[in-house]
A and B are shown apart, each in its own frame.
Chain A
Amino acid sequence: MKYSSAITQRGVSQSKYAIELQNVTKRFLAPTGQPYTALRDLSLSVAPGEFCAIVGPTGCGKSTTLGLITGLERPSAGQVEVMGKPVQGIDPRIGYVFQSDAIFPWKNVLHNVATGPLFRGQSKAEAFERARDWIARVGLSGFEDRYPHQLSGGMRKRVALAQTFINEPEILLMDEPFSALDVQTRTLMEDELLHMWSSISASVVFVTHDLEEAISLADRVCVLTAGPATVKGIYTIDLPRPRNLAEIRFEPRFVHLYQEIWEDLRNEVVISYERSKQQA
């Protein structure tokens, strides 16, 4: 395999890979009692400080992959390692941004952002001070007392980002975090994410079904097959950083990469679509 090329080695960890999945298979029991294979023989490694995007057809098992890295799910076969050690339970070095709203609706912005430090045993004064700092960094100063239902979708996403980044994760997992946002807000949030990411040295696994988003953000794009998912192809994105997300998609190199990866992805999307038609 060809990962070691063009990987920005910004991490400080001793192990070679921040995340390593070796021949991982995950089977679930469907409600009907039938076993259902979500992932089959999937191998993937992410270097420290690398931004890796995973794309694949809808429902192919992208989120399951993230679940295995967090330790919320266990593999049926194979090995999942984080920082060179097998995953056992939930690793405090991991941060996770969810697809849907997962901030607490009964906490205001300040308490939502301070949740992580408070859970991890920091004093209230310290937690709130750091929370105010992160709220300012995501541009929500003045909204500390608001409750989530009083905020727009983009603002709630900012709260979710601050809530995750305040824990200074070494590994950042993102499950289609911006898919519910409108296109303009989404580009703003992607910009913000890259900016925040450049200030910490985290490895990122970013799951998305949007190839354009994947190429704009990532160092590497990993294409998964229609379920059961396994790795179909891995592409190195050699676009220079810092990137101007508003214009990057017009660059010839971007267009070239897009066409190359889309060839690969399209077949899988068609397979997944044919299957869903048969089921319907």
Chain B
Amino acid sequence: MNEVNNRPDLSAAVSTDVDQGVESHTARLRRRRIIVNILRILILIIFIGGWELAARVGIIDPFFWGMPSGIWAQIVTWVVNGTAQGPLWQQIAVTLEETVIGFVLGVVLGVVFGVLLGRNRFLADVLSPYLKVANSMPRIVLGAIFGIALGLGIQSKIALAFVLVFFIVFFNAFQGVREVDRNLLANAQILGANQRKISTEVIIPSALSWIIASLHTSFSFALVGAVVGEFLGSVQGLGLLIQTAQGTFNANGVFAAMTILAAVALITEYLITALENRLIRWRPNTVSDVTI
């Protein structure tokens, strides 16, 4: 009898124990997150503060290496008074325009050619030595040719961003098509898919995780293409801003333009991650929490 009476109490005790366990676990997670954030901010303060202090005390020469307060002042000046080559937002807009057009063209054509060659083994065999050459060449030097051929306008920068993006996306799409599960292909054929449906409903969705993985890298390459293109000769853009600052020994100006570029890159990175989550919703979340 005693035993029977004891049972509800026992189970109640166990369940509260479990509840407390869950609670303390979430509390521990929350505390960990707070500590991580505090440490992150601390590192930023030490880095910027140390730099500023070292520059003021004279350990490093702010003429060559700049200093945070000077960089901030430079950004404020650009925002308020504009740059030597026009308003700041216009420089950002020009660089972004070159980057985005080059990126979109590179992605679209990279996917089209990747899928085409991935599906056509004969064509892939014929073209493979040329693709290897094109891939091993440091393509950034093409910027010089584009500068000559396409002039100082945005076309030469778009072209450079394009070639950098194209090859990354192309090789990923090509590999993605080659890796498609043969069972899925056979299933689609038996269910009645024609060649076009097989491409759009099986091969492209299947290769999409490869393609999307390449978008992160290729967007930063598009930005590199646009900025280097502006370096090599241009009338507007953040790359020109850096070059002008360099030419006038304005270290703060170089760092200020770099800071703006970094902010632009971070925002676009965030947008691409959002796009990725939308496009491959079907994929299980195997990679968890690798936030850097």
- Note all chain A residues with C-beta closer than 8 A to B193: 119
* Alpha-carbon gap, A90 to B185, bound state (A): 13
| Chain B residue with the shortest CB-CB distance to A120 | B192
**How far, in Å, is B48 (CB) from chain A's closest CB?**
44
* Alpha-carbon gap, A100 to B194, bound state (A): 23
B205 touching A96, Cβ below 8 Å = no
A102 touching B184, Cβ below 8 Å = yes
**How far, in Å, is B187 (CB) from chain A's closest CB?**
4
Number of residues of chain A lying within 8 A (CB) of chain B = 26
- Note all chain B residues with C-beta closer than 8 A to A95: 190
- Note all chain B residues with C-beta closer than 8 A to A115: 188, 191, 201
A163 touching B191, Cβ below 8 Å = yes
**How far, in Å, is B195 (CB) from chain A's closest CB?**
12
Segment from B11-19, B97-105, B277-285 that makes contact with A: B277-285
**How far, in Å, is A151 (CB) from chain B's closest CB?**
11
Number of residues of chain B lying within 8 A (CB) of chain A = 23
Indicate if B186 sits at the interface (CB-CB under 8 A).
yes
- Note all chain A residues with C-beta closer than 8 A to B56: none
A72-B184 contact, Cβ under 8 Å, with A106-B282, A107-B282, A149-B282: no
Number of A-B contacts (CB under 8 A): 62
Indicate if A235 sits at the interface (CB-CB under 8 A).
no
Indicate if B135 sits at the interface (CB-CB under 8 A).
no
Question: Contact mask A88-121 → B, CB, 8 Å, 1/0?
Answer: 0010101110101111111110000001100110
A106 touching B183, Cβ below 8 Å = no
| Chain A residue with the shortest CB-CB distance to B193 | A119
A100 touching B190, Cβ below 8 Å = no
- Note all chain B residues with C-beta closer than 8 A to A167: 191-192
**How far, in Å, is A149 (CB) from chain B's closest CB?**
4
* Alpha-carbon gap, A129 to B89, bound state (A): 53
Indicate if A70 sits at the interface (CB-CB under 8 A).
yes
B151-206 residues at the A interface, CB under 8 angstroms: 181, 183-184, 186-194, 197, 201-202, 205-206
**How far, in Å, is A43 (CB) from chain B's closest CB?**
24
- Note all chain A residues with C-beta closer than 8 A to B201: 104, 115, 119
B197 touching A119, Cβ below 8 Å = yes
Question: Contact mask B17-43 → A, CB, 8 Å, 1/0?
Answer: 000000000000000000000000000
**How far, in Å, is A191 (CB) from chain B's closest CB?**
24
20 A–B contacts, CB within 8 A, in A order:
A70-B186, A70-B190, A72-B189, A72-B190, A90-B190, A92-B192, A94-B190, A95-B190, A103-B187, A104-B187, A104-B202, A106-B206, A106-B283, A107-B282, A115-B188, A119-B192, A120-B192, A148-B282, A163-B191, A167-B191
Contacts from B to A (Cβ < 8 Å): 181, 183-184, 186-194, 197, 201-202, 205-206, 208, 280-284
Given A96-B187, A106-B283, A119-B201, 9 more A-B residue pairs with CB atoms under 8 Å apart are A70-B186, A72-B189, A98-B186, A106-B206, A115-B201, A116-B191, A119-B191, A147-B282, A149-B283
